Amino acid sequence: MKIDYEELMSTFAASLRPNAIRSLMPLLVRPDIISFGGGAPSSETLPIEELAEMASRVIRDRGRSVLQYGPTRGQPALVQEVALYLRSRGMKDATPSEIILTTGSQQGLDLVSRIVLDPGDVALVELPSYVGGTIALHNSGARLVGVQQDQDGMVISDLRERIDEVRAEGRRPKCIYTIPNFQNPSGITLAAERRQELVRVAEEQDLLIIEDDPYAELYFDDEASRLAPLASLCPSHVIYLGTFSKVLAPGLRTAWLRAPKEIAAKIETAKEGADLSSSQLDQALVYEALRTGLVESRLPMIREFYRTRCMAMTEALENHAASGTTWTRPRGGFFVLMETDRQIEATKLLPAAIEAGVAYVPGQPFFVDSSGANTFRLAFSKESPENIHTGIKALCDVIKRIG
């Protein structure tokens, strides 16, 4: 007899949405095309030899503990390092009781969503926003409401209007999800004065801010390096997430979150049920990379690596983009968002672009209101500056020819 699996699965399973970006990945990683698709760090920035040496030393010397289960909150020495880092970023009173190490920030986003949101609650998110983040929020049954951004990040007057609308409908807005630095997918950075306004809204409206900050250390100018995390302005209303994925290696799946300690305690309990703890071995490697100064010493090189690629991309766009095309000017991170004339649809154009030897991610899945059909996420993290010039020219030629 044939089993009806649909019938056996939960309503949660039925509500799951695949990540539209990840399903494009096989197309985006073809070796014969220049890809602005994937948003991963360049493998050229991974300290392979150093980590190989550390891994063998750590396992030999401390195998009895690092190959074991460990505390749900994470290894105390690494938690302490994270607390020191957060204090250096202005979170003056950050203590280990507020910190949880997670299996990537992606797990942090999943746990936070489950702790904060009930089905039907409203989460306010940027237009556009990171798909992994909006999926985590959606999985908790939240309704996602988009807030406009301009070149300075979330538009606070629009945020206030959306909150008023939600309340007028009798719904409960619970949180604002934001990526304030060099956002994925737009590369936009939230301006200093907007940071103050945003935390004021959270305080006045009794909302939590989920501040997802994976690119914080990948800034290209001093001013961008000094922008205050929202969590330093108003720790009582902000859950802050950071990760070692972009400054060390995403394969180590080690990240952290800092939340008011009452929330952190609940997240710890939820994590216990999810995975007992994140990998002790991965955490030990990250700790070793911090202790020996490996992470710190490589940061200037990594920033320069991405800065030159970002410059190559914006220069190539200046040279080749069709009139009517606009793009963001990132001050850090991995991404430029390009916007064309309304009639051009990025999804429809993709086969022709791939045919011409260049790939990108259509922007629409990043917009929770399904706008953005004429936007293109262009990651400059993977390709060489030469390939970036070639690829942007090829893409702009396709747009001029077909668009």
Ligand X SMILES: Cc1ncc(COP(=O)(O)O)c(C=O)c1O
Q: What is the DSSP letter of 257?
A: E
**Chain position carrying tokens 């990651």:** 379
In the complex, minimum distance from the CB of residue 170 to ligand X, in angstroms, rounded to a whole number: 31
**Contact 201/159 with Cβ under 8 angstroms?**
yes
Cross-strand partners of 376:
338, 362
Residues 156-185 touching ligand X, rule: CB under 6 A, are 179, 184
Count of residues engaged in binding ligand X, rule: CB under 6 A: 15
Site for ligand X contains 39 (CB under 6 A): yes
| Nearest residue to 198 (alpha-carbon basis) of 166, 240, 229 | 229
Considering only residues 75, 106, 283, 387, which one is a binding residue for ligand X as defined by CB under 6 A? 106
Exposure of 359 in the CB half-sphere (CA atoms within 13 A): 20
Query: Of the listed pieces 81-89, 242-250, 353-361, 379-387, which binds ligand X according to CB under 6 A?
Result: 242-250
Q: Does 283 bind ligand X (CB under 6 A)?
A: no
Q: Which residue is nearest to ligand X (CB)?
A: 104
Q: Answer yes or no: are the C-beta atoms of 364 and 344 closer than 8 Å.
A: no
Q: Is 134 in the site for ligand X (CB under 6 A)?
A: no
Residue with tokens 């909006």: 134
Stretch that binds ligand X, among 45-53, 126-134, 135-143, 386-394 (CB under 6 A): 126-134
Closest separation between CB of residue 126 and ligand X, Å? 10
The residue assigned the tokens 């060099």 is: 182
Q: Which of 212, 282, 288, 383 binds ligand X (CB under 6 A)?
A: 212
Q: How far apart are CA 158 and CA 161, in angstroms?
A: 5
Helix (H, G, I), strand (E, B) or coil at 270: helix
Judged by CB, which is closer to ligand X: 178, or 374? 178
Binding segment (CB under 6 A) for ligand X, from list 103-111, 152-160, 298-306, 312-320 = 103-111
Residue from 42, 134, 178, 243 binding ligand X (CB under 6 A): 243
Span of 73-81, 99-107, 164-172, 391-399 interacting with ligand X by CB under 6 A: 99-107
Residue 255 as a binder of ligand X (CB under 6 A): the answer is yes
Which residue spans within 17-142 are E strands per DSSP? 34-35, 99-102, 122-127
Rule CB under 6 A: say whether 113 interacts with ligand X.
no
Shortest reach from residue 257's CB to ligand X, in Å: 10
> Please, which residue, 29 or 322, has the CB nearer to ligand X?
29
Contacts of 155 (CB under 8 A, 6+ apart): 147, 148, 149
Taking the CB of residue 279, how many other CB atoms lie within 10 A of it?
18
What is the Cα–Cα distance from 248 to 256, expressed in whole angstroms?
14
Q: Is 245 in the site for ligand X (CB under 6 A)?
A: yes
β-strands 208-212, 173-178: how paired? parallel
Q: Is 104 in the site for ligand X (CB under 6 A)?
A: yes
Among residues 41, 74, 132, 187, which is the contact residue for ligand X, using CB under 6 A? 132
Mention every residue, 6+ apart, whose C-beta is less than 8 A from residue 366.
Answer: 128, 129, 130, 131, 134, 185, 186, 372, 375, 377
Asked if 85 interacts with ligand X (CB under 6 A), we say no
Sites of contact with ligand X (CB under 6 A): 39, 104-106, 130, 132-133, 179, 184, 212, 214, 243, 245, 250, 255
